[in-house]
Amino acid sequence: KAGVTQTPRYLIKTRGQQVTLSCSPISGHRSVSWYQQTPGQGLQFLFEYFSETQRNKGNFPGRFSGRQFSNSRSEMNVSTLELGDSALYLCASSSDRVYNEQFFGPGTRLTVL
Amino acid sequence: GQQVMQIPQYQHVQEGEDFTTYCNSSTTLSNIQWYKQRPGGHPVFLIQLVKSGEVKKQKRLTFQFGEAKKNSSLHITATQTTDVGTYFCAGVKNAGNMLTFGGGTRLMVKP
């Protein structure tokens, strides 16, 4: 089985712009979660989508949003970028079992200038 | 909100020495998961603990979940250079996939 893929792998944006990141989960996985990883704050949960519905949401401002498509692919969008949004954005997929291991993608490295 | 603390933040060991990282949650967890992230890589699932007092072993790695389901530990016996990386615990409070990660312990092994 192919693993979780994320595009693009690297991105450079300027303050005020918006960005869309994409994630393709492992085939058959319906849950997709997004995490932000920074040296200062570590790994923080953004949101989880399951069957096109947001099931869980972390403590991030409304500038961070996401969606999931019928094929389970997911996108996250960050509007009005700030310098502090520079981070590695990780997507993880999992199966439908109650307690699920997460399979992480390689991440998208976003740099905001 | 839920917090998961992990210590130590860094650990340097000589190859062959043992290593332990500890994880403590401010709230009772449904389960706890452990991940390893190599430098420049992404987190990779190691194990999941669900039951109170559970102990699981994977070769040289031993994982424990506390009786109160609020703390956990990972112990590596006789470290090797391949063990280098950052080890994260991640707590799950409710059903679903919202992981609250600890800050991680970065393990460095000197050959």
* A43 with B30: Cβ contact below 8 A: no
* pLDDT value of residue A79: 96
* pLDDT value of residue B93: 82
Percent of chain B with pLDDT over 70: 96
In angstroms, the separation between the Cα of residue A49 and the nearest Cα of chain B is 9
Interface contact B11, partner A, CB < 8 A? no
* pLDDT value of residue A99: 66
Average pLDDT over residues B46-70: 97
A-B Cβ pairs (cutoff 8 Å, strict): 64
Q: Return the closest-CA partner of residue B30 out of B90, B88, B92, B72.
A: B92
Question: Rounded distance, CA A77 to CA A20, Å?
Answer: 4
* pLDDT value of residue A10: 97
Angle CA(A11)–CA(A82)–CA(A19) in degrees, nearest 5?
40
Tell me the mean pLDDT per 10 residues along chain A, length 113: 93 98 95 95 94 92 97 97 98 82 96 98
Reduce the secondary structure of chain B to three states and give it as a string: CCCEEEECCEEEEECCCCEEEEEEECCCCCEEEEEEECCCCCCEEEEEECCCCCEEEECCEEEEECCCCCEEEEEECCCCHHHCEEEEEEEECCCCCCCEECCCEEEEEEC
CA-based nearest residue in chain B for residue A102: B45
Whether residue B10 contacts residue B59, with contact meaning beta carbons closer than 8 Å, is answered with: no
Q: Which residues of B touch A35 (CB under 8 A)?
A: 99, 101
CA-based nearest residue in chain B for residue A46: B98
75-94 of B, contacting A, C-beta below 8 A: 88, 90, 92
* A102 with B100: Cβ contact below 8 A: no
Chosen from B5, B6, B35, B97 to mutate, greatest number of chain A CBs within 10 A? B97
* pLDDT value of residue A96: 72
Confidence band, pLDDT 50/70/90 cuts, at residue B94: confident
Give B10-41 pLDDT, tens digit per residue: 999 999 999 999 999 999 999 999 999 999 99
Name the average pLDDT for chain A. Answer: 94
Classify the phi-psi angles of A72: left when phi > 0, otherwise alpha if psi is within -120 to 50, otherwise beta: left
Q: Which residues of B touch A58 (CB under 8 A)?
A: 98
* B42 with A94: Cβ contact below 8 A: no
Interface contact B46, partner A, CB < 8 A? no
